[in-house]
Structure 1
Amino acid sequence: MTDNGPMTTHPDSPSTPSTPSTDSERLEDCYPVLAALSAPARERLLRAAQWMRVPSGAMLFDDLQSCEGFPFVIEGSVRVSKCAPSGRELPLYRVGPGETCIISSSCLLGHEDYNARGVTEADTLLMMLPKPVFDEMLGERPFREFIFHLFAERIADLMQLIEEVAFRKLDQRLATLLLGKGRLLHVTHQQLADELGSVREIVSRLLKNLADQGLVRLAREQVEILDPAGLRKLSAEGSSKP
């Protein structure tokens, strides 16, 4: 992760210009709604578009920083997290190609600063739409409906996350996380803790409990699933204490 500020406000951030003529077609492939805009609106959007390629681990935006544009992800992924003063992070959601960032849209709509952090998880190609043009595009019915539809989808995702954190034990959430990553995971305990919004020591203890039960086998930066059925049962019911 870099300490650079948002890509939209800090020109020294590690990004390189992309090729608009070729990437505009990919943009409409990922976001078909743009083809439904009126011809003048579409031309205005593409003329104002800021294209960039961003390396993995770059910070697109951070807490309390101003939001100057709306990102359209064409390739790669952005992890959006809420950060505590202690440094712990709770991942809220990821933004991939064709998806939208609810934090960015809410900040633009409410004229507020960011209240979360966005970091690229892979080399990412995106188009940033400046705030004034975003405001103009809201006057176009297809664009407005697109934004609010995906806004509703993200709200549902966040409600599910709240339910997970509030009502499910950490061992259940860990089991669910492990089951979603295949039989052999090349991952550190810290990475798993970050995914769960927890700390490494607690996750390491839970992993040892799972290993003692014969559910997983642990090695350096590796977790092997031995008993998927047992993990599924734990995920559904919970059977150990964090």
Structure 2
Amino acid sequence: MNTPDSGATVSALTALYPLLSGLSAAARQRIESEGRLLDVPAGTRLFDEHQPCTGFPFVLSGQVKVAKASASGRELPLYRVHAGETCVISSACLLGHNDYNAYGVAETPLKLLVLPAGLFESLLAEPDFRRFVFGLFSERVADLMQLVEAIAFHRLDQRLASLLLGHGKTLHTTHQQLADELGSVREIVTRLLKSFADQGLVSLGRNQIDILDAAGLRGIAAEKK
């Protein structure tokens, strides 16, 4: 990871995070002087389970995947962090002085602004920063509740049908990648995709899925138990 020397990127923070625009001059100065700007290559593991959290990241560009891994190597994606967002697990670890209970990886090249843990705690005295952090909690908890609901109450074929929709007529992906997104295993996803193909809903190729009947997939996704 490289640390660029660019104050211009720090000054752009409030453009991406407008809730922070009311920070005091002293708080802005501390962010300018103590925040670390990082350029991170795609594929970099940003944090791992059972590691301490040493800073609060703002994503200035790029995308981070946060996921939970099992002992067998399966993973369940929890959420993604894009530019203008930040990581609720990082804030929870800092607030509770706990280690990470998930891992984060750069899915694309990233530009991050990382606030040291001590600065994060000091900034909680700022009303705008405090509202930002707890507003983040509210949004992410709602997202995670939707994930729990999908896993608990929706069949895997419904979730797979929903996952295939909304990306155009052709998806360039593998069965393993789809399984990872669903928290399942490749063999089950392959079986379901072959069933969709037999029904004329999709056509399967090498690392490619063509959507032939989007309405049919929407019907499966919307089916009730």
Give 3-state SS (helix, strand or coil) of 1:70's partner. Answer: strand
1:17 matches 2:3: yes
Does residue 115 (structure 1) correspond to residue 101 (structure 2)? The answer is yes
Which 5+ residue runs of structure 1 have no aligned equivalent?
1-14
* 8 Å CA contact retained: 1:82, 1:115: yes
CA contact (8 A) 1:169 1:238 kept: no
Alignment size in residue pairs: 225
Q: TM-score, with normalisation over the residues of structure 1? A: 0.91
C-alpha root-mean-square deviation of aligned residues, in Å? 1.1
Report the TM-score when normalising by structure 2: 0.97
**How far has the Cα of 1:45 moved from its partner?**
1.5
1:55-91 superposed Cα distances (whole Å, 9 cap, x missing partner): 1111000100000000000000000001100010000
Unaligned runs of 5+ in 2: none
Aligned with 1:128 (options 95, 100, 114): 114
2:131 is aligned to: 145
- The whole-number CA distance in structure 2 between the counterparts of 1:234 and 1:29 is 41
Listed as ranges, the matches of 1:89-238 within 5 Å are 89-237=75-223
- How far is 1:21 from its partner? 1.6
Q: Contact 2:165–2:217 at 8 Å: present in 1 too?
A: yes
In 2: Cα distance, 1:25 partner to 1:132 partner: 20
d(CA) in 2 for partners of 1:56, 1:238: 39
Q: 1:78 aligns with which of 41, 58, 64?
A: 64
Is 1:44 matched with 2:6? no
Task: Kindly report structure 1 stretches of 4+ aligned residues shifted beyond 6 Å.
Answer: none
Q: Distance in 1 between matches of 2:9 and 2:160?
A: 38
How far apart, CA to CA, are the structure 1 residues paired with 2:195 and 2:35? 51
C-alpha displacement of 1:98: 1.0
Instruction: Tell me which moved more, 74-83 or 22-31.
Output: 22-31
**1:205 offset after TM fit, Å?**
0.6
Distance 1:157 1:45 in 2: 29
Distance in 2 of aligned mates of 1:106 and 1:55: 25
Task: Give the distance between the partners of 1:186 and 1:164, measured in 2 at CA.
Answer: 24
Stretch deviating more after TM superposition (36-45 or 17-26):
17-26
Partners of 1:99 and 1:151 in 2: how far apart?
11
Task: Output aligned runs, 1:54-69, within 5 Å.
Answer: 54-69=40-55
Residues 4-47 of structure 1 show CA distances to partners (whole Å, capped at 9, x for unaligned) of: xxxxxxxxxxx111233221133221112332100011101221
